Structure 1
Amino acid sequence: MSTVTRRVETVLPDTGTREWWVLFLLAPVALIGAVLLAFPTLVYDRFVWQYLWGPVVADAAGQPVTHEGIRAVSGYNAVNTVTYLAAVVYSLPGLRAYLDALNVSFDTRLAYGFAPIIVAGGAMRALEDIGLLGDYAVWFITPSIYFVVTAVTVLSLGVGALARDRDIGSVPSTVGLVGSVWAVGAVGWALWYGLSTTAPLRLWVPVATTGIALGVTALYYWGTNFVDGTQLRHPLFLLAVFGQTWDAAQNLIGVTFLGYSPKLVITNFVYQATGFSGSTFVLKLLVTGGIVWYLADAKDEMSHTWWWLMTFFIGAIGLPMGVRGSLRMMLGV
């Protein structure tokens, strides 16, 4: 544990206590509320609207929108990218405390139980891109979809804990079942739509993207034979490599063959700067490899809970993007 972390924990209430939860949940609300009251026009119009909420409204409307003369366009930008990342990082202590309260084991089964819900989130985002969600579209656009997926996950964990305590199930199996039903339904809806239209259905796209991801993951596993790879073969690392490579593969296929551009700010900047269609793929491989190597080396030094959350997070931010991109390109959206 770092010196900074140790000092912070000595000041804050014990994790999971009532006082800690009040501080964790209300501190951001109080801070944002105070800033809004002090600088309403600057904070809402020039920050929240222009970079956070405006892009959501524009995405749902399918065109740029204007509020108080300030134009907002759909998609990621540097501000909302950093803001969303900060929100995810801030949520990790709360997730840890919630799982601890439910007495949930941070193991491989739980990570793979979570995976279908994450896949379902990516598929729902693709359904919104296609225009199939109607008035509910705004709930499945970034960042709204994160709250929806989080709510489903939290409820599934609670139901799973009840099932475990009554000896009628387990937490990973309950979460996995909920996610699998949701994911199959969402992907099935996309396929049904594709088959019911006259537009060409590019089934080769998801086959190619998942094939590339599986191939790279297999190569990664094989490559660990040439180093001290016991730690590197951990199933969570395989999930992380697969998730990130799936996202990289859909970028590679889209940019190289179908005329798409990377959606994220950083990857699009690298692509525009290099003009190389495989830039995102290479960048993802290098960054993922470096992070995995660091986490493998730090596994025995870090808290198991924090190590698990960080490692799972790496795969969790790649999986939904791979699903979304594959489905969009399959349907020509």
Structure 2
Amino acid sequence: MSSYLSKQTVEALPETGSKEWWLLYLLAPIVLGAISMLVFPALVYDRFIWQYLWGPVVADAAGRPVVHDGVRAVTGYNVVNTATYLAAVGYSFPGLRAYLRYLNVTFDARLAYGFAPIIIAGGAMRALEDIGLLGDYAVLFITPTIYLVVTAITILALGVGALARNRGFLSIPGTVGVVGAIWAVGAVGWAFLYGATTAAPLRLWVPVATTGIALGVTALYYWGVRFVDVAHLRHPMLLLAVFGQLWDAAQNLIGVTFLGYSPKMFLTNLIYQATGFPGSTFVLKFLVTGGIVWYLADAKPEMNRTWWWLMTFFIGAIGLPMGVRGSLRMMLGV
């Protein structure tokens, strides 16, 4: 009976890749969600969406647990929302892949550098939320909604970039870079302006120190790997990955050593508490990043080009926004 129903379902579905198939792909989650909300409103919204998805975001913005119709929501990740986010990311992959193919996007170092300003802007917006400058819009720049906002802007920038490329104005990486640069300069500038015009502390040496440490150690890495007989260790993508992770490590080092902060991540804080060594996070990140970069450099000739690009870019994209966020928060004493 089960195999018969499965066969009938497959035969009833539109051909994979057709317009009807994509319409079903896009509308199915929305329709199923709407029907579930109508049939089981208390269960679906109060006990699922509110308690585990939207409520924690509102609680984060409010800085305290919040209650809706007797259901309490607290800030932070939990098993339910983590599994839901992962499922949503997995479900989005076919659509994102088709979108990038349609735009004829080339995965190379130029695209990675074009994306970098948008990622930096995301980190700066998270810092502005920490500072309390975003008002009613704060919920848009708290995890996980900030990822949706940054992703939406990136997708839009890619589309605009494709139009600009087709008209001979700018390449896709160039357009994405311009969009990200305008956003990043605006967000970072707002943080500096706030510090310069209010009674908030303005430790300008903090972003200078964190950026300088990351650049300096990345330069040492670039110089040192020339003595190692492994190809691609100086690839621009790997340099971006090293710099991103070291920027995050540098802001942890400065915060713990000079300003009384503790590492925010559970594992790095655990190691710091166990060792009492202020540079433990920096050493850990340097060693782990070095190992990952070594593996990626060695695997580049055999690995699928797109997967290699995604994995390498992901390593840098984790560190970049954390470095920006931490540097701006400590600059303003938050």
TM over 0.5: yes
Segments of 5+ residues of structure 2 without an aligned counterpart are 1-13
Over 3 Å counting, the alpha-carbon distance change for 1:264 and 1:39 in structure 2 is farther
Cα separation, 1, equivalents of 2:195 and 2:135: 17
Superposed CA deviations along residues 169-207 of structure 1, whole A, max 9, x for unmatched, are 211111110100010011111100000112320111101
Letter of the 1:199 counterpart = A
**1:242·1:315 contact (CA, 8 Å) conserved in 2?**
yes
> What residue is the counterpart of 1:212 in the other structure?
213
In the TM superposition, 1:1-333 aligns within 5 A as 18=19, 21=22, 25=26, 49=50, 52-67=53-68, 71-75=72-76, 91-92=92-93, 94-333=95-334
Corresponding pairs, count: 322
Letter of the 2:306 counterpart = T
CA RMSD of aligned residues (A): 3.1
Moved more, 161-170 or 263-272: 263-272
3-state SS of paired residue (2:322): helix
**1:232·1:293 contact (CA, 8 Å) conserved in 2?**
yes
**1:231·1:296 contact (CA, 8 Å) conserved in 2?**
yes
Superposed CA deviations along residues 262-307 of structure 1, whole A, max 9, x for unmatched, are 2233333433444433332222222212221221122111211111
The TM-score normalised by the length of structure 1 is 0.83
Cα separation, 2, equivalents of 1:22 and 1:219: 51
3-state SS of paired residue (2:233): helix
User: What's the offset of the Cα at 1:45?
Assistant: 6.2
**2:154·2:176 contact (CA, 8 Å) conserved in 1?**
yes
Superposed CA deviations along residues 48-79 of structure 1, whole A, max 9, x for unmatched, are 55554333112211223245666544355677
Over 3 Å counting, the alpha-carbon distance change for 1:68 and 1:168 in structure 2 is same
User: What's the offset of the Cα at 1:109?
Assistant: 0.9
Cα separation, 1, equivalents of 2:276 and 2:68: 35
Over 3 Å counting, the alpha-carbon distance change for 1:314 and 1:41 in structure 2 is farther
User: What's the offset of the Cα at 1:138?
Assistant: 0.6
Letter of the 2:122 counterpart = G
User: What's the offset of the Cα at 1:222?
Assistant: 1.5
User: What's the offset of the Cα at 1:41?
Assistant: 7.5
3-state SS of paired residue (1:317): helix
Q: Which has the larger radius of gyration?
A: 2
> What residue is the counterpart of 2:11 in the other structure?
none
Over 3 Å counting, the alpha-carbon distance change for 1:84 and 1:203 in structure 2 is farther
Cα separation, 1, equivalents of 2:223 and 2:169: 39
Over 3 Å counting, the alpha-carbon distance change for 1:95 and 1:226 in structure 2 is farther
Cα separation, 2, equivalents of 1:82 and 1:264: 20
Letter of the 1:58 counterpart = A
User: What's the offset of the Cα at 1:98?
Assistant: 2.0
**1:77·1:265 contact (CA, 8 Å) conserved in 2?**
no
Letter of the 1:172 counterpart = P
Letter of the 2:308 counterpart = W
Over 3 Å counting, the alpha-carbon distance change for 1:129 and 1:207 in structure 2 is same
